[in-house]
């Protein structure tokens, strides 16, 4: 049967702009000087990453698995090219997915579409990137509309424009460990300032998570990002692993796992009215390969 849900109660997750700064929290159970050095190194690494990783295109293998309580699952598999671009003027990441194949069927006229757009003049480039981002978002399965599933998003929180919006903590129980073959320190973060980076319409959604930072130089090899919207009974999490890439001579995102869950009331009135609703769960796995830089002149403008 067809599943219909009132859009008035669907969570819509979107990126907002940064606001003024707040102090960074002191660590728990660790020398403050050592903590400050770790955060400083990580911040410097993120700024280097922003310069080195823009403009980059990668191949993406993306699987979406949706399960609705009491109903069967739906699965969608996509092969895409993904553009990663840091926008200095906006202090944020732009990622645009150009879908090539959906469930084994090739999308017409999709080959090298990103390269063609990036070669176009700036006004055409902006509108085409906007249309392409909207087109790929329509292929997302499930009732949770989202535009923040960008593997590099959590790195942004350590950028100088964002860092003081969060508290960063090294917990006493989080000792140095090896992740992806390197010695790292786990640093937890929590957003403390409004408006928040991720929002549901006009509602603030406070982000939290963790960063695994290489002790020697601040390289970030793993990130997690979580948030909860209690108004719509929605939870979301994104975990990303990084690996070294010989061609780009830097660490790049290798795998992203997204998990979303929401209690959705299928009511034509569009009101919860104390009803619990059926559990909707979405799991998405993305694997990235064949990273290559695209050299272009001119300023890139983010789609509005």
Task: Summarize pLDDT for 224-261 with one digit per residue, the tens.
Answer: 999 998 887 889 999 999 999 999 999 999 999 999 99
Q: What pLDDT is attached to residue 296?
A: 57
**Are 76 and 64 spatial neighbours (Cβ–Cβ below 8 Å)?**
yes
Q: Could you tell me what percent of the chain has a pLDDT over 70? A: 81
- Beta-bridged to residue 220, according to DSSP, are 213
Low-confidence ranges of the chain (pLDDT < 50): 1-11, 17-24, 27-30, 268-274, 297-304
Rounded CA-CA distance 4/30 in Å is: 51
Residue 197 DSSP class: S
- Other residues' Cβ atoms within 10 Å of the Cβ of residue 17: 10
Q: Considering the entire predicted model, what is its pTM?
A: 0.85
Q: What pLDDT is attached to residue 18?
A: 46
Rounded CA-CA distance 217/233 in Å is: 40
Rounded CA-CA distance 89/2 in Å is: 44
- Distances in Å between the Cα of 95 and the Cα atoms of 148, 173, 216, 235 are 9, 35, 29, 22
Rounded CA-CA distance 49/1 in Å is: 47
Q: What pLDDT is attached to residue 295?
A: 72
User: 98: closest CA among 294, 296, 298?
Assistant: 294
- Beta-bridged to residue 75, according to DSSP, are 65
User: 219: closest CA among 93, 49, 85?
Assistant: 49
Rounded CA-CA distance 74/68 in Å is: 9
């Amino acid at each position: 049967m067809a599943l219909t849900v009132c859009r008035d109660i669907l969570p819509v997750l979107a990126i907002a702009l940064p606001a003024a700064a707040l102090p960074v929290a002191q660590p728990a159970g660790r020398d403050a000087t050592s903590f400050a050095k770790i955060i400083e190194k990580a911040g410097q690494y993120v700024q280097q990453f922003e310069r080195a990783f823009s403009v980059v295109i990668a191949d993406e293998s993306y699987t979406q698995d949706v399960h609705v309580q009491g109903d069967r699952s739906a699965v969608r598999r996509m092969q895409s090219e993904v553009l990663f671009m840091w926008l200095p003027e906006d202090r944020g990441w732009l990622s645009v997915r150009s879908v090539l194949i959906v469930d084994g069927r090739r999308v017409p006229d999709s080959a090298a579409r990103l390269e063609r757009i990036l070669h176009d003049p700036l006004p055409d480039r902006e509108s085409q990137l906007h249309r392409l981002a909207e087109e790929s978002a329509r292929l997302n399965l499930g009732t949770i509309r989202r535009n923040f599933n960008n593997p590099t998003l959590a790195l942004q929180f350590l950028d100088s424009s964002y860092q003081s919006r969060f508290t960063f903590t090294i917990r006493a129980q989080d000792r140095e460990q090896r992740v992806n073959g390197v010695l790292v320190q786990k640093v937890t973060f929590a957003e403390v300032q409004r408006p928040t980076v991720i929002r549901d319409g006009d509602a603030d959604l406070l982000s939290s998570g963790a960063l695994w930072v290489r002790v020697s130089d601040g390289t970030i090899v793993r990130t997690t990002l979580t948030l909860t919207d209690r108004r719509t009974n929605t939870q979301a999490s994104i975990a990303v692993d990084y690996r070294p890439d010989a061609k780009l001579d830097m660490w790049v995102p290798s795998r992203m796992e997204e998990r979303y869950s929401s209690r959705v009331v299928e009511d034509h009135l569009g009101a919860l009215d104390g009803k619990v609703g059926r559990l909707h769960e979405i799991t998405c796995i993305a694997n990235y390969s064949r990273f290559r830089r695209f050299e272009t002149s001119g300023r890139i403008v983010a789609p509005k």
